[in-house]
Structure 1
Amino acid sequence: MSLIAIIAALFASLGAGSDGLSGFPDSDPVVGDRYEIIVSYETSQRSSDGSSGSSSGRKTFEERVIAVSDLGVELEFDLPAASTDEERDRVWQYPARVLQPSDGPMRLLNRPDLEVRLDRWLAAAGLPKAACGQWIFTWTAFRIECDPETVVDDIEAFDLRSADIREGAPYRHPGALGAGTLTRTSEGADGATYAVRLEVDADAVRKAHAESDVVVGEIMQTPVTLESALIERSKETISGTVEVAFEVDAVGRPIRRTVITTIDTVHPDGVSETETQQVRVERRAIAGSATSSKQEPQPDVVVSAEAACALATARVTAARGLPLGHVASCDPVRAEDSPVGHHVLGLRAVCNQDLCGSTLMGWFAVEKATGAVFEWDVAEWQPGPEVGGR
């Protein structure tokens, strides 16, 4: 079993929020402001002995400003409005309401709601409370989380509001040694980019690797203590970098953060290994919200055909109760042949027989501005019903 998924989970903090915080600098939050937050990651692992592995994933959330007062800003984080009942049944953490003070840590406001949903989630999964904290393995490693307060950690991991983003600002990052200094690397009419490069904390890497050993031992029913795992991992030589880039819009609001962590490990037997993880967080005002009216023109939510394919695959399989792997390929129509404002594409299913007829699942259109997915009427060359319509 590859450790890449487990290592990616245990190293989530390396792509999480920074320690370079400064109050609540996001400009004048207004009640009714709504943002789409997209968190995506890619990991890869390769060794000198020829072994390799990779994983990727994407999550989307919506952020809404509930109230603004002297205490700070009250925010609600939830799954996208277009989420199906099945998608909501998979998680108990959202919607979550938090208070972001002008200084100090974020606080969870609706813990009782989360506790009720947690109990329902455990009951639906047939899991006792005793299973909380355990790791299981299906198609990936999965920890049964039962602490409502961990949702604050999850939110802080993709919070872009609080970072002090400016030329010369000090910046710290989880899993990296010391502090660096943000440097403006590009600037234009649409905004600017600030970046910093830090060294990884080798001890933090060894601890994460040791924790992954404990998880694997638990899943494989060959228990390993953290102490013994740390002793073995202390024999490794660790080096690497954490590269962070922030992109801000024309008025200085953060719209994207990209963190690339590269870890080089030399094992006692001489085998070398390189792990790379890229975590990207994007934050966009949702059309129709108070903030979106201040931002003209609005950038498209779905820019590339590849992103449209990924979104259509997720939405169509969810609507039809199919696994993502049911889709074998995506065939996007050329940009010049697609109608303005849409990506048109066809999805094809996996062929599980020696001889298959058509594997076409249908034609679909992804609206660039909103990310909505529609069935596509080929005869009329126009959108049909929305997939998983609201």
Structure 2
Amino acid sequence: MKDKLAAQFQKIFGRQPDAVTHAPGRIEFIGNHTDYNGGTVLGASIDRGVGVAIARRSDGQRRFYSGHTDEIITLPGGHLRKLDGKGSYTNYAQGVLAALPAFNLKAPEGFDYLDMSDLPVGAGLSSSAAVELASGLAFLAITGQNPSRETLVKIGKHAENHFVGVPCGILDQGVSGFGRKNHLVFIDCRGPRFETVPLPAGAHFWIFNTHTKHALVDGLYAARHKECMDAAKALGVGLLVDATPAALEAARGRLDEAAYKRAKHVIDEISRVDATCKVLPSGDLAAVGRLLTASHRSSQTLFENSTAELDFLVDTLEKTPHVHGARLTGGGFGGAVMAMTSGAFNSTQAQGVAAAYAARFGSAPDVLHMQTGDGAQVL
């Protein structure tokens, strides 16, 4: 990817970049909406992502180019402005620029910036976090700064929370930053604490991207966040990670139905993450798969962030040979389903699932076979 980025940078800006970086997308393996509740989560960095090429400018101008829009957007140095429409892709990089001083780091004044991605947008693979981390590494590279990996991850989260305006937890940036080929990333989000966990041999990932998105997705995500915080307050804890199943049941009469269901999902999901960590060393992928599917059913009935399209895919995959388990991946309310399969599951079977979906909903999902990949890096 480095040569491709450098060649495109030369074509657009007429010179070679000073630095080229890459950050992967991620699969949320298990731990749906646990991160901002202080819980635990497992994710996998994948072999697709976002690359950034960058070169310094002496005139203070910041010029952005993305393959998504094929258009250069110029902003004056030191001036950050959230953009709509075609320029909205710059908000993730601008958010990183805004975040750097909060971590006692210097933001570059002027530069030419180009990004390229082989991640499908809206598939629950966290293209936004990949942009943030690749951008962060690029800005740090041209200013000669080298903070810790954890700081880089926190910069990306800060950008998403405070500039882009999405109240995400640390999952997306943490997995993109700490990812490692043939491993999962375990995150204790309250620390946060990051570890890599070996992924048993023979696990394959397939993504079924429905290209559906709930029209109110941003508001629904924010509403779920608020419901979780309200439930924690009613239970007398700072975050739901500190609530027990017994305490939840004892307080059920004081909670409205939505708050109870959201809290139950989060508390049970944290238990499923812990159970998955215990099973992984045995290599029992069938047992892991059952936990993945149980996670989806909880999202479907308790957290209510699934859709008819996602449920149909999970139902179909659950009945398909060589599929260990399946669940929605990402924030939900549309997007994609992740299936973990054995190596015997093939593209013919995947297309059969897609055809069944098309017969029901009128259009086929995109099907992507994923492998794990390494985390964010300077190329």
* Bin of the TM-score, shorter chain as denominator length: under 0.3
Structure 2 length-normalised TM:
0.27
More strand by share: 1
Greater RCO, 1 or 2 (C-alpha within 8 Å, sep 6+):
2
More helix by share: 2
- Structure of larger gyration radius: 1
